[in-house]
Amino acid sequence: MSTQSHSPTPSRSAGPRGPMAGMFGPPPAKSKDFKGSLKRLLNEVGEERKTLVLVLTLISSSVIVGAFGPKILGRATNDVFYGFLGKRLPADLSKAQAVAGLRAKGQEQMAAMLEKSSVVPGVGIDFSAVSRLLMLAIALYAISSLFMWVQGYLMAGVTQRTVFRLRRSAEEKIGRLPLSYFDTQSRGDLLSRVTNDIDNISNSLQQGLSQILNSLLTVISVLAMMVWISPVLALVSLIAIPLSALFSVRIAKRSQREFIAQWDWTGKLNGHVEEMHTGHSLIKVFGRRDRAIQDFGTLNDKLFESSFRAQFISGLIQPTTALISNLIYVAIAVLGGYRVATGTMTLGDVQAFIQYSRQFGMPLAQIAGLMNTVQSGVASAERLFQLLDAPEERPDSKDAVQLGRAHGEIVFENVSFQYTADQPLIEGFSLTAKSGETIAIVGPTGAGKTTLVNLIMRFYEIDSGRITLDGVDIRDFTRDDLRKQFGMVLQDYQMDMTLSSLMTMQRFQMVSDNF
Amino acid sequence: MLIAILKDYLRPYKRSVIFVLVLLLVQSIANLYLPTLNADLINNGVAKGNISYIWRIGAIMLGSSVLVMGSSVLLVFLSSKVSMAFGRDLRRSVFSAVESFSARELNQFGAPSLITRNTNDVQQVQMVLFMGLTMMLGAPITGIGALILAIKTNLKLSGLLLVAVPIMTILIWSLLRRIVPLFKVMQVKIDRINLVLREQISGVRVIRAFVKTAHEEERFADASSQLMATSLSVTRTFAIMFPSLMLILNLSSVAVIWFGGKLVDTGQMPIGNLTAFLAYIMQILSSVMMAVMMSLMIPRAAASADRIQEVLTIPSSVVETQSPQTPQESLGRLEFRDVEFRYPGAEHPVLAGVSFQAEPGKVTAIVGSTGSGKSTLLNLIPRFIDVTSGSVLIDGVDVREQALEVVWKQMGWVPQRSFLFGGTVGENLRYGDPDATDDDLWACLAVAQATDFIQELPNQLEALVSQGGTNFSGGQRQRLSIARAIVRNPKIYILDDSFSALDFATDARLRAALFEKTQAATVLIVAQRVSTILSADQIVVLDQGRVVGKGTHSELMGTCPTYKEIVLSQLSPEEAA
């Protein structure tokens, strides 16, 4: 056994670091392979293909049906408006006469508007026609909302089942990871991947998928309705898309950077807090309290600055898109008003158009906002996939030797092992422990006493040589069979490593005794 | 609690908050002005065919849009500044509060919970504040403004609101009443997943050694499917919310056109007001919607505020005296005088009637079985906890009458769990004395028998130490933590079972070098290993919190059966003699 003095302790994870220690690794910031991870995540969701297709159909129908609403309301407004005008005209006049009369008075624009309308002089609002239109609108809105609800209901199932599956595979994965994985990864981080990251994925899926689709379809169908009503005004509104997109994307990119900084400083602050709380009494007794508070203050200020910038910059998206949509609104009102006045457009159409243009701005802003959610979700998915892809323990050999009750002779043959590359801990170690023999292993701190037990239990795999139990290489048994042989009482592994290595020495005797 | 915290911590930003409110008002008025202008445009421009009027109103509309944009940007700027500064101040207070905690309060909360409170919980409150400043407060202002305008536009038609608003409120309210408790259940289920998983990860060796992986998977699957069931109910309930709200909004506009049309027909309302009214009613209903939806965030933030307030208000059980006394001489003489310590409400004291003195230049060892109160006794000296009766004195003055910093300055503390801080070896050692030179550090490392392995490190004193010191073995950590205490050059050394991870030879060498170095200091040692304390000048034997023997090794072997028992459990009679 080599007496390498600087060796990592085998049960590193059992040190005095708090359970939260690793939670502050790099947070899901920017993903390395956005497309790849997104695709893989969508594949996971894709297992529910049939339901998804139904969801998609429902969303599309709901959006399309809903899009007709304002148009129909606009028609109803027209009817009201014409009735209003008609009532003010004397009933004995024909529409042509009324137009001519207006022209004679020099009210050319009024005349033009009247000429294009379906006003019948002397006839007021046709409420039966209005009510038919309104009933239609109610029906459309009701159907749209109903579809939306069913869609949301189904999507909740898809999301939650997907997340459940992800959680299960993550947990099963943990059961197959080699122990060395737990030594190098912080516990808090691992835990965070299975809980926080999966939670985040769940949120992104639930909100992201159906809402992005919804918003996108809304933009398209609203745009279609706008073109139908008035291609000229639609063109004006169309300017809003690239304009909003351009600003939103620019701002989002900039704020993403600040958000990363914010999570980075949050992580650093968390790390400091965790360390200072864990070493609470030491900090006091070594008179470092002021220094700790001071260091905290520095990190806290950095966090403040970055989170302020992140909030402010990302907060700019809303006023910017709002300004654009307000500008469009004004343009439509002015242009529309002008066109109604000149008789090229009806009032109801302008009103419908205005309503559409309001609906138009919202999904655009929503898509911009959702991009953040999706990015964060994909980043989390990536962290989860990293865990799922981590190399596993070598699977038990299929034709494993059946192990009943072992006779109990353990032989180490020229065993070499190292926890960390280039830091050999055990080199060319040989030992025979016969059944009924007591063997005490002594050695200075860090010499590898605990390691021997870890190797017999196959918590770690040896690098060379072999260990046999009753003459059979322990790698030829299944791990479960092998471990069942050692009714080993692994006492509180939370306790300080140093104590446990002492105990291990005694335990090793115990183990050998049992054989 | 939420209100109290907001009130206290927003005080320095009062002006900005008032300014934010003014901006919100400006914004709401400008936003409400747009539909009015639109109505004006239709009534006086379109209906009368007045094109120059249309252009004029258009320009005003443009101006107010720009005003809205300007005030929004300023609003976001101020609100993010105020709310993030609020978060920063709150975090600072929480951290400072925890730093003045005694060990008892720290254990009461537990370090992980304190971390969550300082980061996560503060974040919750901070976000609600931000949302509140930017949106929540704006919603009622716009809502009320729109209501006034709607009533002004047409009183009769406004009656529609008496139907729509209650329906909407009742709907949201009843959904929230279902969802909020579900949220709490969900939090519990998530906690459960966390618990099972944490046990699995930290107990991975035990689980594998006992071949319990399948059992654990079952436990997890159970917790996981329970969480899924609750999340499903939550998200499904939520799925009703948005479509039904949209339905109410849309039905309201249908109603406006129907009833508004009647009013227009009978000449009770100008036609242009119909469009304006539609805009108002949309604004009112979305304000109601926003206000109620936002109120969903409040219960969660309120829970967080409670958790923060707990940390801020719990009185420290160790309070520093206002009028500290300074001992006449500073030698490091330590005395326990009839000391009792019991946890609040506990039946039996942990320590009772403990009296002994530890003199400068002498080594005092404390022995006793596990749970005999050894560590508790040590914790009383730097006032990590305070005695419940009796007193601990340094140089004749009760530690509770002295300034804490003065007490701590004299102390070289080596804890049972050797904890190193993230940084370099040198930085860790300089915890003892920030001004120590490298030579000083090497000298102390030599005493602590740590020269060898530090010299082997590529960067020696600059070598990096991971948080907690996990990149060093247990014995190395112990030696570094002893070196750290030596660097302090203290009057009193307190070594809490600090040689346990060392092999016997290193232990002996270290003790010899250390006692050489500490000739003038008071040394207090707790040890499990009898060989460590055989040569102590005084040995205090503790049993169930009481002193059952005091004296040197040879005296105690004759007079104290508890001591004899402990010694003979580890040494042969020949060695013990």
Q: What is the pLDDT of residue A112?
A: 64
> Per-residue pLDDT tens for B61-73?
888 888 888 888 8
Q: Is residue A437 very low, low, confident or very high in pLDDT (cuts 50, 70, 90)?
A: low
| d(CA B115, nearest CA chain A) in Å | 6
Task: Say if the Cβ atoms of B42 and A11 lie within 8 Å.
Answer: no
Mean pLDDT, all residues of chain A: 72
| Residue among B211, B235, B457 whose CB faces A483 most closely | B211
Q: Are A309 and A194 in contact (CB under 8 A)?
A: no
Q: What is the pLDDT of residue A142?
A: 92
Q: What is the pLDDT of residue A150?
A: 92
Query: Best-predicted range by mean pLDDT among A41-55, A175-189, B38-52?
Result: A41-55
Give yes or no for B182 touching A (CB within 8 A): no
> Per-residue pLDDT tens for A89-145?
777 777 777 777 777 776 665 666 676 666 777 777 778 888 888 889 899 999 999
> Per-residue pLDDT tens for A203-220?
778 777 777 777 888 788
ipTM over 0.85: no
Task: Say if the Cβ atoms of A168 and B130 lie within 8 Å.
Answer: no
Average pLDDT over residues A171-180: 80
Mean pLDDT by 10 residues, chain B (577 residues): 82 88 84 74 69 81 83 88 90 86 77 73 82 78 82 81 85 82 75 75 72 80 88 85 86 86 79 77 78 70 80 80 79 83 79 82 81 80 83 83 81 79 78 79 78 74 70 76 83 80 72 76 80 80 82 80 77 67
How far apart (Å, rounded) are the C-alpha atoms in residues A99 and B177? 60
List chain B residues with CB under 8 Å of A124: 265
Give yes or no for A441 touching B (CB within 8 A): no
Q: Report the 10 Å Cβ neighbour count for A369.
A: 18
How far apart (Å, rounded) are the C-alpha atoms in residues A213 and A380? 21
Chain B contacts in chain A segment 53-72 (CB below 8 A): 66, 69
**Chain B residue with the nearest C-alpha to that of A297:** B92
Which of A270-274, A357-361, B236-240, B560-564 shows the lowest mean pLDDT across its residues? A357-361
3-state secondary structure of B341: strand
| d(CA B551, nearest CA chain A) in Å | 28
Non-local (6+) Cβ contacts of A368 within 8 A are: A244, A245, A248, A249, A252, A317, A321
Helix B504-517 and helix B474-487: axis angle, to 10°?
A: 0
**Chain A residue with the nearest C-alpha to that of B226:** A164
**Is 70 exceeded by the pLDDT of residue A327?**
yes
Task: Say if the Cβ atoms of A297 and B275 lie within 8 Å.
Answer: no
CATH numbers and ranges of domains, chain A: 12-16+396-505 (3.40.50.300), 34-388 (1.20.1560.10)
List chain B residues with CB under 8 Å of A77: 257, 274-275
3-state secondary structure of B422: coil
Q: Which residue has the higher pLDDT, B136 or A14?
A: B136
Residue by residue, what is the 3-state secondary structure of A320-389? HHHHHHHHHHHHHHHHHHHHHHCCCCCHHHHHHHHHHHHHHHHHHHHHHHHHHHHHHHHHHHHHHHHHHH
Number of helices and strands (H, E) in chain B?
22, 12
Going A92 to A95 to A100 to A106, the CA torsion angle's sign is positive
Going B306 to B307 to B311 to B315, the CA torsion angle's sign is positive
**Is 80 exceeded by the pLDDT of residue A405?**
no
Q: What percent of chain A has pLDDT over 70?
A: 73
Q: Which long-range contacts (CB under 8 A, 24 or more apart) does A428-431 make?
A: A428/A465, A429/A1, A429/A465, A430/A465
Q: What is the pLDDT of residue A184?
A: 62
CA angle (A128 as vertex; A122, A130 as ends), nearest 5: 90
**Is 80 exceeded by the pLDDT of residue A42?**
yes
Q: What is the pLDDT of residue B160?
A: 83
Q: What is the pLDDT of residue A441?
A: 60
Non-local (6+) Cβ contacts of B364 within 8 A are: B334, B356, B358, B522, B523, B524, B525, B536, B537, B538, B539, B540
Q: What is the pLDDT of residue A501?
A: 39
| d(CA B538, nearest CA chain A) in Å | 25
Which amino acid belongs to residue A18? G
How far apart (Å, rounded) are the C-alpha atoms in residues B36 and B153? 9
Q: What is the pLDDT of residue A107?
A: 66
Task: Say if the Cβ atoms of B236 and A152 lie within 8 Å.
Answer: yes
Give yes or no for B562 touching A (CB within 8 A): no
- CA distances from residue A284 to A496, B413, B491 in whole angstroms, order as listed: 22, 10, 17
Q: Report the 10 Å Cβ neighbour count for B348.
A: 9
Max Cα distance, chain A (Å): 125
Give yes or no for A285 touching B (CB within 8 A): yes
Q: What is the pLDDT of residue A146?
A: 93
| d(CA B547, nearest CA chain A) in Å | 26
Give yes or no for B268 touching A (CB within 8 A): no
| d(CA A375, nearest CA chain B) in Å | 20
**Residue that is written with structure tokens 């066109």 in the block:** A339
Phi-psi domain of A465 (left: phi exceeds 0; alpha: psi -120 through 50; beta: other)? left
- Tell me which of B230, B240, B254, B262 to substitute to probe the interface with A (most A C-beta atoms closer than 10 Å): B254
pTM of the model: 0.68
Which amino acid belongs to residue A401? V
List chain A residues with CB under 8 Å of B221: 168, 171
Strands (DSSP E) found in A29-142: none
Q: Is residue A12 very low, low, confident or very high in pLDDT (cuts 50, 70, 90)?
A: very low
- Hey, where are the domains in chain B? 2-313, 329-410+491-501+520-577
- Fold assignment, B329-410+491-501+520-577: Rossmann fold (3.40.50)
Q: Report the 10 Å Cβ neighbour count for A510.
A: 16
Q: Are A342 and A222 in contact (CB under 8 A)?
A: no
**Is 60 exceeded by the pLDDT of residue A332?**
yes
Tokens representing B30 are: 């400008």
Q: Are B255 and A331 in contact (CB under 8 A)?
A: no
Give yes or no for B458 touching A (CB within 8 A): no
**Chain B residue with the nearest C-alpha to that of A143:** B247
What's domain B2-313's superfamily in CATH?
Answer: ABC transporter type 1, transmembrane domain (1.20.1560.10)
Which amino acid belongs to residue B419? F
Q: Are A18 and A274 in contact (CB under 8 A)?
A: yes
Q: Are B484 and B326 in contact (CB under 8 A)?
A: no
Give yes or no for A167 touching B (CB within 8 A): yes
| Residue among A6, A110, A278 whose CB faces B453 most closely | A6
Q: Are B131 and B75 in contact (CB under 8 A)?
A: no
Residue by residue, what is the 3-state secondary structure of B214-257? HHHHHHHHHHHHHHHHHHHHHHHHHHHHHHHHHHHHHHHHHHHH
